[in-house]
Amino acid sequence: MRIAFMDSGIGGITVLHEALRQLPYEDYIYYADTKHVPYGTKPKELVKQSIFEAVTELHDQGIKALVIACNTATSIAVSELRASFPFPIIGMEPAVKPAVERVQALHKRVLVTATPLTLRETKYQDLVAKTDNESIVDSLPLPELVTLCEQFEFREEAVLPYLREMLLPYRMEEYGSVVLGCTHFPFFRRHFRKLLPSHVELIDGSGGTIKRLRQVLEQHGLLSRSGTGDVRYMSSKAEPGELERIRQAHLLLNETFNENDN
């Protein structure tokens, strides 16, 4: 049985990438709900309906666990999903807590970037209220990054002007961490790095999410030692070439992470 990852589009591949690193002996399904992308700018109930349709389709595949590799989907649907499906479901949230912990001693601020819907949700507001005792967390919606990512538009001349404009109101020398609170955003790590001071750390929640996935698999006796890291791609958009497009996004991400490692 496979572990499923689902997202509105190709962003969740950034979380799958971490799973393949930490759990190489599992097999996976990656489901991109590209028929309904983006989630973060749409009405909540419409997005929730799309999420349930996607997870129902994955349930029919006989999966053993599901990672909601999308901060927006987690924030609006994870509790209801857990009540509706029999397999373990792991969600995501912006990595506010580790970001705050890392900057407090430096007397710096944290900037959380995410989709508008994630930042509006009670789940995110409660997370900040619980974590941000010194009022050092600011929030910045960056919906255009999702659109650019889904269009495979990573040219600096297309991305940097948008990021530069959105970051302009913030004195970045006052910040110690920028949280990439949407799974699409790690595709743009090198673009952020070009605009941010060298001391600013980029943080996302993928590592913590996969650590939690491993714990849950172990608790349920579901951890595999016989898989090969095989990934099967699925999409809600029944168009020729769509699955190949998702696979190419995965290859592109691998190249991006290799560049960052170097």
List 110, 128, 149, 182, catalytic entry: 182
> 70 an active-site residue?
yes
Contacts of 86 (CB under 8 A, 6+ apart): none
Helix residue ranges, H only, the chain: 13-22, 44-59, 71-84, 96-103, 116-120, 122-131, 143-150, 156-167, 189-195, 206-219, 242-261
| DSSP one-letter code for 2 | P
Buried b (16+ CB within 10 A) or exposed e, 199-216: ebbbbbbbebbbebbeeb
Strand order in the sheet with 89-90: 89-90, 65-68, 3-7, 28-32, 231-235
List 4, 16, 51, 70, catalytic entry: 70
DSSP reduced 3-state for 224: coil
Helix residue ranges, H only, 134-241: 143-150, 156-167, 189-195, 206-219
DSSP reduced 3-state for 162: helix
**DSSP β-ladder status, 109-114 and 137-141:** parallel
> 149 an active-site residue?
no
Active site residues: 70, 182
